C-alpha cells in the first residue's frame, strides 16, 4: 500500500500539478456537457471509436516529434468527420465505428512500437498522465475547450430538439444531417482533450459515465447538464488529487470516482422510482396507465 | 372564437406527386377552409404522409401549386403545427413535458436564450388546454402514450398555428386516449379556426368530427364528405375492384380492398389493432 499512497510532500506536489488540475477541471466541464448528448444520441460507442483514432494521431505525433496535442486533435477530427459523414443513421454509424476503431488502435500500436523515446510517454497516451501539462499544452487545452463550449452553446437547443424529437424538429425545418456532423466534430475535439488527460482507453469515464449518472437522478434539461458537469469535474480533479500520492497513473482513480458516483445515482433512482418518479400532482387522477410499466 | 383568417388555410391546385414512373397522386384540387377537419385515408404507401411532407416543405410537388395561407410552403413555418404518431421515448431523455412544449416554440433557434415570462405563460396555457398540467414536470419518457400525445398536441399548438397536420396521432393509443386526443383537436379547430389535416388508417375514432375525406389509393383520389366518399361505389371505383363498405352500428368497415390480404382494410392494417380486434369493436359500439 505504501507504494500506492504516500502523501508526505503533498503540498509541494500540488504546486507541480497546478496546470494539470486546471486541465482536468476544464475537461470535466467539457466532458460533462458533451456527455449529455452522447447519452441522448446514444453515441457511447462513437466516443470509444474516436478515442482510438485520437490515440493513433497522438502516437504518430510522438513518433514524428510533433505536438502530441495537435496529433490527437487531428486524429479525433478525422474520426469524427468519417463517423459523422458515413454514419448519420445509428445502424450505419456503429458499423463504421466498429471498422475504424481497430484500425486506429493498430496504427497507434505501430507508431508507439517504432518510437524510441521515454516509455512513460507511450503508456501515458493509453492510460493518462498527470505531470505532462506544461504551459504551452495548457494553452492548447484551454483553446480547444473554448471552441467546444462555444459550439455547444450555439447548437444546444436545436441539437436537443433533433435528438429527442426528430420528426417534429424536422417538421420545424431543422437540418438533421448538419447538426449530427457538427456535434460529432465537437465530440471529436472533446475526446482529444480527454485522451491527453485520462488516456485513450478510459475516455468513456469522463464522456459517458457522468452524464449517465446525472440522467438517473434528473430529467430537467438544466439540472442534467449541471450535475453531469459537476460529476465529471469531481472525477477528473479528484482523480489527479488522489493519484498525486502514488506512482500509478491517474486513470484508475478517475474511473473509480466516476463509477462510484454512477452507482450512487443508480441506487437513488431505483429508490425514487419505487416511490413513483414523475408522479402526478395530488388531487388530479392519472389519465391513463402508469407509464413506467409500458416503457420497461 | 378568434376572427377566421381570410381565404383558405391550405390550397392545392392540380397538385401531383410522383417518384419516377410511380404516381402517388395527381390532379389534386383542394381548398381547406379555416376550422375545417379533413381526414386523409388510404392504404400504406398511397402517399398520405408524402402529402404532409409537401405541406411541411420537405418534399416539393412534382406538379401543381400548394399554398398555405396564400404563401408557398417552406421549412419550419410557425403557422403549421405537426403532431406525429406516438412512439415511446427513451425513459432517460432529459426533458419534461413542459420542455417538449417549449421546444415547439424555440427549439429551432440557435444560441443561448432565456424564455420570456410571456413564453412561459404560453407553454403553461398550452399544457392547460390539453389537460396536461398535472404531469407538466414529469419526465417525458415516463409518460404513457396517451399523455405523450396530449403533450405533443400542446407542443404543436403552442405556436398558434392556422393549420394542424396530424400523422396517425391515434395509432397505438388505447380507446379512451384516442377519444380524448381527437376531441382536443376538434375543440381547437372550433375555438381557434385551426384547419386540420388528419392522416389516419382508422376513420372510426374521428368519423363524427370529419368534414371531408380525402381517400388516396392506386394513384387516384376522391374528396368529399365521408358519406359520399366512404361508399361501396366510390371505393370500388377507386380500387378498380369490388369493395364493400359496411356500416356496422355507426362504424364504417371496408371489406375487400385488394392490397389487404385480410380484406378488412381499416382494422387489419396495423399490428396494434390486429392484436386486439375485440377491444376495437367494443369501442366502436360505445
Mean of the pLDDT values across residues A33-47? 93
B93 touches chain A (CB under 8 A): yes
Residues of A in contact with B146 (CB under 8 A): 287-288
Please state, in angstroms and rounded to a whole number, the distance separating the CA atoms of residues B62 and A246. 71
Confidence of residue A207 (pLDDT cuts 50, 70, 90): very high
- B5, pLDDT greater than 80: no
8 Å CB contact between A228 and A213: yes
Please state, in angstroms and rounded to a whole number, the distance separating the CA atoms of residues B143 and B140. 6
Which residue of chain B has the CA closest to A217? B92
Confidence of residue A184 (pLDDT cuts 50, 70, 90): very high
Phi then psi for residue B15, to 5 deg, are -75, 140
pLDDT on residue B92: 78
The CA–CA distances, whole Å, from B6 to A249, B47, B80, B252 equal 72, 29, 16, 34
**Comparing A136-140, B159-163, B266-270, which segment has the lowest mean pLDDT?**
B266-270
Mean of the pLDDT values across residues A95-116? 90
Q: State the pTM of this model.
A: 0.85
Interface predicted TM-score of the whole assembly (ipTM), two decimals: 0.83
Q: Find residue B198's DSSP bridge partners.
A: B39, B166
- A31, pLDDT greater than 90: yes
Q: Which percentage of chain A shows pLDDT scores above 90?
A: 47
Confidence of residue A117 (pLDDT cuts 50, 70, 90): confident
A244: left (phi over 0), alpha (psi -120 to 50) or beta: alpha
Q: What is the pLDDT of residues A210-232, one digit of tens each?
A: 999 999 998 889 999 999 999 99
8 Å CB contact between B127 and B136: yes
CA angle A99, A105, A107 (to 5 degrees): 100
pLDDT on residue A264: 97
Neighbours of A154 (CB within 10 A): 15
pLDDT on residue A132: 58
pLDDT on residue A265: 95
Mean pLDDT score across all residues of chain A? 84
Q: What is the pLDDT of residues A45-75, one digit of tens each?
A: 999 999 999 999 999 998 998 888 889 999 9
Neighbours of B44 (CB within 10 A): 11
Q: Do A291 and B180 touch (CB under 8 A)?
A: no
* Chain B from 98 to 157: CB within 8 A of any A CB: 99-100, 103-104, 106-113, 131, 133-135, 137-147, 150, 152, 155-156
The radius of gyration computed from the CA coordinates of chain B, to the nearest angstrom, equals: 19
Mean of the pLDDT values across residues B167-173? 88
* Chain B from 208 to 267: CB within 8 A of any A CB: none
- B276, pLDDT greater than 90: no
Mean of the pLDDT values across residues B168-181? 87
**How buried is A150 (Cβ within 10 angstroms: 0-12 exposed, 13-18 middle, 19+ buried)?**
exposed
8 Å CB contact between A176 and A166: yes
Which residue of chain B has the CA closest to A282? B134
Mutate to test the interface with B, among A38, A151, A168 (most CBs of B within 10 A): A168
Please state, in angstroms and rounded to a whole number, the distance separating the CA atoms of residues B72 and B65. 8
Q: Which percentage of chain B shows pLDDT scores above 90?
A: 49
Which one has a higher pLDDT value, B9 or B201? Answer: B9
pLDDT on residue A285: 41
Phi then psi for residue B264, to 5 deg, are -110, 85
C-alpha cell at A73: 486533435
Domains of chain A: residue spans and CATH: 10-203 (1.10.3470.10)
Q: What is the pLDDT of residues B113-145, one digit of tens each?
A: 889 999 999 999 999 988 899 999 998 988 988
pLDDT on residue B277: 39
- B283, pLDDT greater than 50: no
Residues of B in contact with A290 (CB under 8 A): 144
Q: Do B94 and A167 touch (CB under 8 A)?
A: no
Q: Do B112 and A284 touch (CB under 8 A)?
A: no
What's the distance, CA B114 to chain centroid? 32
Q: Do A167 and B75 touch (CB under 8 A)?
A: no
Which one has a higher pLDDT value, A179 or A134? Answer: A179
Torsional sign, CA B50, B52, B53, B55: positive
8 Å CB contact between B107 and A157: yes
For A175, how many CA atoms within 13 A lie in the half-sphere containing its CB?
Answer: 8
Amino acid at each position: 500500500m505504501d507504494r500506492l499512497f504516500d502523501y508526505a510532500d503533498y503540498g509541494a506536489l500540488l504546486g507541480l500539478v497546478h496546470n494539470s488540475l486546471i486541465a482536468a477541471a476544464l475537461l470535466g466541464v467539457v466532458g460533462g456537457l458533451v456527455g449529455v448528448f452522447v447519452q441522448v444520441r446514444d453515441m457511447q460507442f462513437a466516443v470509444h471509436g474516436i478515442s482510438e483514432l485520437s490515440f493513433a494521431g497522438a502516437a504518430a505525433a510522438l513518433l514524428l516529434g510533433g505536438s502530441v496535442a495537435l496529433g490527437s486533435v487531428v486524429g479525433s477530427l478525422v474520426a469524427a468527420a468519417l463517423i459523422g459523414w458515413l454514419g448519420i443513421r445509428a445502424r450505419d454509424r456503429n458499423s463504421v465505428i466498429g471498422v475504424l476503431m481497430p484500425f486506429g488502435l493498430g496504427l497507434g500500436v505501430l507508431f508507439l512500437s517504432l518510437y524510441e523515446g521515454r516509455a512513460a510517454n507511450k503508456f501515458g497516451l493509453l492510460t493518462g498522465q498527470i505531470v505532462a501539462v506544461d504551459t504551452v499544452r495548457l494553452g492548447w487545452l484551454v483553446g480547444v475547450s473554448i471552441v467546444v463550449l462555444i459550439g455547444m452553446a450555439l447548437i444546444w437547443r436545436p441539437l436537443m430538439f433533433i435528438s429527442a424529437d426528430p420528426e417534429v424538429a424536422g417538421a420545424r425545418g431543422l437540418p438533421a444531417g448538419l447538426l449530427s456532423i457538427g456535434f460529432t466534430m465537437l465530440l471529436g475535439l472533446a475526446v482529444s482533450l480527454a485522451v491527453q488527460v485520462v488516456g485513450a482507453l478510459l475516455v468513456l469515464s469522463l464522456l459517458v459515465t457522468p452524464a449517465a449518472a446525472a440522467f438517473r437522478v434528473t430529467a430537467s434539461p438544466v439540472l442534467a447538464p449541471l450535475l453531469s458537469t459537476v460529476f465529471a469535474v469531481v472525477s477528473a480533479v479528484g482523480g489527479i488529487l488522489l493519484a498525486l500520492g502514488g506512482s500509478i497513473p491517474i486513470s484508475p482513480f478517475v474511473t473509480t470516482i466516476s463509477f462510484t458516483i454512477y452507482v450512487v445515482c443508480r441506487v437513488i433512482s431505483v429508490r425514487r422510482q419505487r416511490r413513483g418518479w414523475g408522479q402526478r400532482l395530488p388531487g388530479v387522477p392519472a389519465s391513463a396507465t402508469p407509464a413506467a410499466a409500458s416503457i420497461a | 372564437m378568434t376572427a377566421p383568417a381570410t381565404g383558405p388555410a391550405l390550397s392545392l391546385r392540380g397538385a401531383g406527386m410522383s417518384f419516377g414512373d410511380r404516381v402517388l397522386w395527381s390532379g389534386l384540387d383542394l381548398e381547406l377552409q379555416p376550422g375545417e377537419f379533413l381526414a386523409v385515408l388510404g392504404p400504406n404507401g398511397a402517399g398520405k404522409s408524402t402529402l404532409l411532407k409537401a405541406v411541411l416543405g420537405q418534399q416539393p410537388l412534382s406538379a401543381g401549386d400548394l399554398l398555405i395561407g396564400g404563401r408557398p410552403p417552406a421549412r419550419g413555418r410557425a403557422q403549421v403545427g405537426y403532431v406525429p404518431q406516438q412512439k415511446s421515448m427513451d425513459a432517460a431523455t432529459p426533458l419534461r413535458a413542459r420542455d417538449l412544449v417549449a421546444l415547439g416554440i424555440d427549439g429551432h433557434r440557435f444560441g443561448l436564450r432565456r424564455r420570456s415570462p410571456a413564453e412561459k405563460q404560453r407553454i403553461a396555457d398550452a399544457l392547460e388546454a390539453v389537460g396536461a398540467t398535472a404531469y407538466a414536470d414529469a419526465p417525458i419518457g415516463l409518460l404513457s402514450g396517451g399523455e405523450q400525445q396530449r403533450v405533443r398536441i400542446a407542443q404543436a399548438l403552442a405556436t398558434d398555428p392556422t393549420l394542424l397536420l396530424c400523422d396517425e396521432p391515434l395509432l397505438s393509443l388505447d380507446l379512451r386516449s384516442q377519444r380524448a386526443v381527437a376531441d382536443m383537436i376538434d375543440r381547437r379547430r372550433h375555438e381557434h379556426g385551426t384547419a386540420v389535416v388528419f392522416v389516419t388508417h382508422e376513420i372510426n375514432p374521428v368519423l363524427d368530427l370529419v368534414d371531408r375525406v380525402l381517400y388516396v389509393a392506386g394513384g387516384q383520389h376522391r374528396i368529399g364528405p365521408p358519406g359520399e366518399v366512404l361508399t361501396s361505389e366510390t371505393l370500388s371505383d377507386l380500387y378498380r375492384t369490388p369493395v364493400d363498405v359496411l356500416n356496422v352500428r355507426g362504424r364504417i368497415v371496408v371489406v375487400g380492398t385488394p392490397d389487404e390480404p385480410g380484406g378488412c382494410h381499416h382494422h387489419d392494417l396495423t399490428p396494434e389493432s390486429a392484436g386486439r380486434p375485440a377491444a376495437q369493436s367494443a369501442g366502436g359500439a360505445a
